[in-house]
């Protein structure tokens, strides 16, 4: 009999309706009632109960410690809100254990709402964690299995999550898990002690040079447009070049597939400024990597 640990952190899946809106309040045993396989022994830790918008590195540290110290389990399921799930998955993919499956899931509707996607997602998470086909951190959502370092939220529909590389790594249908591609994870690092933050900026036609600051940060991620690049604006180029001399500055994109700074002249302009090509890294994963390595491991 497999022993599975379910860790709850709040999020929409655990929400009840209140006068001030949806608020996480339902614990693990109630969420998993009737959904766990009969051949599993399931234990629960209600670690915290927050909207994932409120998730911070302090929560990641506690979650990572709980996962890495949970001995005697064959797999772990983390229930999480969807808004920052990709950041949590990216961070845990670097810092969490890889000897057992750690499956992160949530839902777009509360577990107790009519037509909720939560029962399917949690059932799929149980199927994934019990399959014997996975190790390391993955996201299970709407029938997909996505490596934690590649998961991105792209809509508010029930199939909100995609693989940033554009590939399919695994599928779950009627409890049957199919692995289509083996994931490649970044080198593992311990969760940083007394970490410095990472600056994340979105490049737009409105951006001012004054917005490009990173005091006290260990790195910066600039989410650009398309394949990536910098506009021909001297004050912006000067600001980014100055920062890139002191900390790693990585360019990413919201576009599935990633950046290629060698493709266009605007991308080569970014390279000349010392900007690092994020390639197939999402913004969340690039930020997580800089955070976990404190800027010492460039992409």
- To the query of whether residue 12 is one of the catalytic residues in this protein, the response is yes
For 213, phi then psi, to 5°, come to -135, 150
Give the active site residue among 9, 82, 95, 259. 82
Give the active site residue among 51, 87, 105, 153. 153
The single-letter DSSP state of residue 226 is T
Give the active site residue among 62, 202, 264, 268. 264
Q: Is-contact 32 8, C-beta < 8 A?
A: no
For tokens 């591609």, name the residue. 181
- To the query of whether residue 260 is one of the catalytic residues in this protein, the response is no
Two tokens at 233? 């604006």
Give the active site residue among 83, 117, 124, 277. 83
Containing H/E element for 41? Answer: strand 40-50
42: which strand partners? 4
Ordered DSSP codes for 99-151: SSEEEEE--SS-TTSTT-SHHHHHHHHHHHHHSSS--EEEEEETTEEEETTTE
Two tokens at 86? 């990709």
Give the active site residue among 8, 9, 12, 259. 12
8: which strand partners? 46, 79
Q: Which residues are catalytic?
A: 12, 82-83, 153, 264
């Amino acid at each position: 009999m497999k022993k599975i640990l379910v860790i709850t952190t709040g999020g929409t899946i655990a929400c009840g309706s209140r006068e001030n809106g949806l608020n996480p309040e339902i614990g693990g045993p109630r969420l998993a009632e009737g959904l766990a396989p009969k051949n599993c022994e399931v234990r629960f830790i209600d670690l915290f109960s927050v909207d994932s918008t409120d998730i911070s590195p302090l929560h990641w540290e506690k979650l990572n410690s709980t996962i890495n110290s949970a001995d005697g389990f064959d797999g772990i399921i983390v229930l999480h809100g969807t808004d920052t799930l990709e950041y949590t998955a990216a961070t845990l993919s670097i810092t969490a254990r890889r000897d057992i499956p750690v499956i992160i899931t949530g839902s777009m509707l509360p577990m107790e709402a009519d037509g909720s996607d939560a029962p399917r997602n949690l059932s799929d998470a149980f199927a994934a964690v019990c399959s014997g086909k996975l190790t390391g951190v993955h996201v299970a959502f709407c029938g997909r299995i996505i490596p934690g370092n590649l998961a991105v939220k792209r809509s508010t529909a029930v199939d909100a999550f995609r693989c940033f590389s554009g590939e399919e790594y695994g599928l779950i249908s009627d409890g049957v898990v199919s692995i289509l591609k083996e994931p490649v994870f970044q080198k593992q690092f311990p969760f940083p002690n007394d970490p410095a933050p990472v600056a994340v900026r979105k490049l737009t036609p409105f951006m001012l040079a004054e917005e490009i600051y990173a005091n006290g940060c260990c790195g910066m991620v600039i989410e650009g447009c398309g394949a990536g690049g910098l506009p021909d604006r001297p004050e912006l180029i000067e600001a980014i070049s100055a920062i890139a001399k002191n900390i790693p500055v990585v360019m990413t994109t919201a576009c599935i597939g990633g950046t290629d700074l060698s493709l266009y002249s605007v991308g080569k302009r970014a390279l000349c400024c010392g900007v690092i090509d994020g390639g197939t890294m999402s913004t969340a994963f690039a930020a997580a990597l800089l955070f976990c390595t404190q800027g010492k491991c460039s992409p």
